[in-house]
Amino acid sequence: MVSAGDFRNGITLEIEGNVVQVIEFQHVKPGKGSPFVRTKLKNVMTGGVVEKTFRPTEKFPQARIDRVDMQYLYNDGSLYYFMNMENYEQLAINEDTIGDALKFVKENEMVKICSYNGNVFSVEPPLFVELAISDTEPGFAGNTAQGATKPAVVETGASISVPLFVNIGDVVKIDTRTGEYLSRV
């Protein structure tokens, strides 16, 4: 059990039958009245965010989220297949659960499958990936004063913005959380 006074960012709890993760919290001591904890909670199953306040003494059970490293194999229509590298079991997840989490992930790359009580609710790609540029316009040297960018398509089909000096065939490092270009490899 975790009391509201001990909330920290990233902690996962069961509140009112929902599994939520604390995104933000703030301890408030008003001049009059009793102190309270103001929070922003994200429902890990649906992705919805709500704001709630709690008394610091309220207690909630901590939710156990299982994160398993699995290899992304392939997709077949609306199903994506993953394999556990320890026991070689395969798992199929529908595209509604995955969303756009795999837009920077190639086949045979490792991802984290997040589940609660056996129900998969999300796929976490690696933080950084290296992908080849499959399509972009040619850049012209000397036509900018500041670091200008141009659109590019990577080998997985996702679109990103890259500096003008990046060409087709170059391998670039991308932050999967923001979709930003980091560097050439």
Q: Are residues 138 and 175 in the same domain?
A: yes
Same domain, 111 and 141: no
Say which residues have a Cβ less than 8 Å from residue 155's Cβ, sequence separation at least 6.
106, 131, 132, 133, 134
pLDDT of residue 40: 92
pLDDT at 145 over 60: no
Total domains in the fold of the chain:
3
Domain's final residue, options 83, 104, 124: 124
Residue given tokens 């000397």 in the structure block: 142
Q: Where are the alpha helices (DSSP H) in 58-120?
A: 95-98
pLDDT in tens, 33-53: 889 999 999 888 777 889 999
- CATH number where 92 lies: 2.40.50.140
pLDDT attached to residue 139: 67
pLDDT at 141: 60
Structure tokens at 169: 């065939």
Q: What is the pLDDT of residue 51?
A: 92
Q: Are residues 6 and 56 in the same domain?
A: yes
CA distances from 173 to 71, 73, 156 (A): 20, 22, 13
Residue type at 111 in one-letter notation: V
Check residue 89 and give its pLDDT.
Answer: 87
- The confidence score (pLDDT) of residue 144 equals 59
pLDDT in tens, 103-115: 888 888 888 888 8
**Interacting residues of 99 by C-beta distance below 8 A, sequence separation 6+:** none
Contacts of 69 (CB under 8 A, 6+ apart): 85, 110, 111, 112
- Tell me what the mean pLDDT of segment 158-180 comes to: 86
Question: Is the per-residue pLDDT at 140 higher than 80?
Answer: no
Domain boundary among 84, 105, 124: 124
Look up tokens 């993953």; give the residue.
82
Tokens of 65: 């989220």
pLDDT of residue 165: 83
- Give the range of the structural domain holding residue 55, as residue numbers without chain letter: 2-60
Give the number of other Cβ atoms within 10 Å of residue 114's Cβ.
17
